[in-house]
Each structure stands twice: as structure tokens, then as C-alpha cells.
A and B are shown apart, each in its own frame.
Chain A
Amino acid sequence: MNQWPFIIAAYAIGIVGTVAVTALSYLRMRRAERQASALTRRD
């Protein structure tokens, strides 16, 4: 059995999942902190 398709699929799932959760967490943090600092400036 050729094992490489299984290896490539495992790496793809691992990398895509990790990049996705990192990017989504970063975007959520940036949006929330921008909103917070905008409100602070308005006061």
C-alpha cells in the first residue's frame, strides 16, 4: 500500500487546522482590541 497519500492528508489537515485557528484568533483579537481602543478614544 502506498502510504504517502495518508501522510499528505494528515499533514494537510494538521496545517490547515492550525493556520485556521491561529488566523481566526488573531482577527478576533485585532477586531475586539480596535473596537475597545476606538471607544476609549471617544470618551
Chain B
Amino acid sequence: MHIFANPARFLSIARPLTPWLGWIGGAMIAAALYAGLLITPPDYLQGESVRIMYIHVPAAWLGMGGWTGIAVASLMQLIWRHPLASVAARAIAVPGALFAAICLVTGSLWGRPTWGTYWEWDGRLTSMLVLFFLYIAYIALSSAGAERGSSDRISAIFGVVGAINIPIIHYSVEWWRTLHQGQSIGLGGSKIDSSLLWPLLVSTLGFSLLFGAIVLMRMRAMLAETKVEARLKRMTAE
């Protein structure tokens, strides 16, 4: 990881990687959503509404994966003072919040025809809503930190502490057996039929690659903005 600590070395890798991740991810998403909408059969129990899974599950994965990324980057910032770690954490925050929001809204739209309600204070739904609020708080804290410099450490600590919510979301369906269904995919295999499963895997991988491209674009933007700001300050001083 330390080899990426140099922004110039990071940029030499990020520049060619960004379009590859973006285009391959976008193509995989388009193929998976087309298959999910028009090719896969309806579920025997849930009917057509199961098609929402191809948006909802990748969004949940990225919402949770995004915060895990923030926590890892924050740890690297706190322990090794990795110069790109805080940039990475801040770059993840906005797309992570967006995908957490997409997960909540699409879950709600799935819940109405399946459970008969848009919202229930169920363990999974509530912990996911908490994750969305954590993202909003992190964005506010890190924006203030980026302006003042000093409180950047506070947002890093917040990023690490907020990761407590990730296992809570994951195990919520086992700890509080309420409305949300249990885990369908685990290390031991999948309970989903292969005719419904393959577009889900393609969609999740495609969204993950695109998420990587988005984070790289945001990191590149932040590094360039920092460079412009530093140069303008130097020009003003001269």
C-alpha cells in the first residue's frame, strides 16, 4: 500500500485505470440490468418484484463496502499518516452515501409489493438508515476538516468508529428476525436459483468497478484542486 503513498505514482496508475474501470463496469451494469429486466424469470414467491434485486443488492454492497473503505483508509491515515488515505476516504464518502440512499429507496419500493409496506423499523432497514446518516455526518465533518486541516483527524476517528455499524447491518437479519429476509448468499453457497443469480453477480461486479472509477475520478479531482490551491497561494505570496 505504501507504494501508492506518492501522489505522482498513484496518478500514473489511476489515469489509465479510470476509463477501463468505468467502461467495463458500465457495460457489465447495462448487460446485467437488461437481463434482470427482460431475460430472467419471475420468482415463484415474489413474482416480478424480484427484479429490483439487481439494483438493490449492488447498492447495499457498495453502501457497506464504501464505509469499510473509509474505515480502512482512516486507519491508514491515523497509523501511518498515509498522504493519500484521507483523500481516498473523502472520495468514497459521496458515492457511498448515494448508494446507501439508493439501497434504502429501492428496498422501500421492493417492500411495498412484497411486504405490503414501504417502511418498517426492522433491524436491517434501521441499521442501513443509520449508515446513511453516518455518511452525511462524515461528509460534513470531512468537509470542515478539509477547510481547516486540523479536524481531519476527527473525521478519521469517526470513520473508524462508524465501522461498528457494518457488522450490525450484516448480522441484523440473524439477531432480529423481523421482516427483512435472511442472507441468500454466503461463503457456503447461494440459495438463489442460478437463472436469477448470474445477472446479480454481473451487476454487483459491474457496479463495484464503476464505483472504483468514480472514487479514482474524485481522488484525481481532489489532488488537482490541492495542487491549484497551493500554486495560487505561492503566486499570491510572490
Contacts and interface: CB of A to CB of B under 8 A. Distances in A.
Taking each of B29, B33, B213, B227, which has the highest tally of chain A beta carbons within 10 Å of its own beta carbon? Answer: B227
A3 B33 CA distance: 17
A43 B105 CA distance: 49
B120 interface: no
B219 to A, nearest CB: 9
Contacts of A26: 217
Interface residues of A, number: 27
Contact of A14 (B55, B213, B228, B231): B55
B109 A39 contact: no
In terms of DSSP, what is the predominant structure of the interface of chain A? helix
Nearest to B26: A22
Given A29-B220, A29-B224, A11 B214 contact: no
Interface of A: 1, 3-4, 6-7, 9-11, 13-15, 17-18, 21-22, 25-26, 28-29, 31-33, 35-36, 39-40, 43
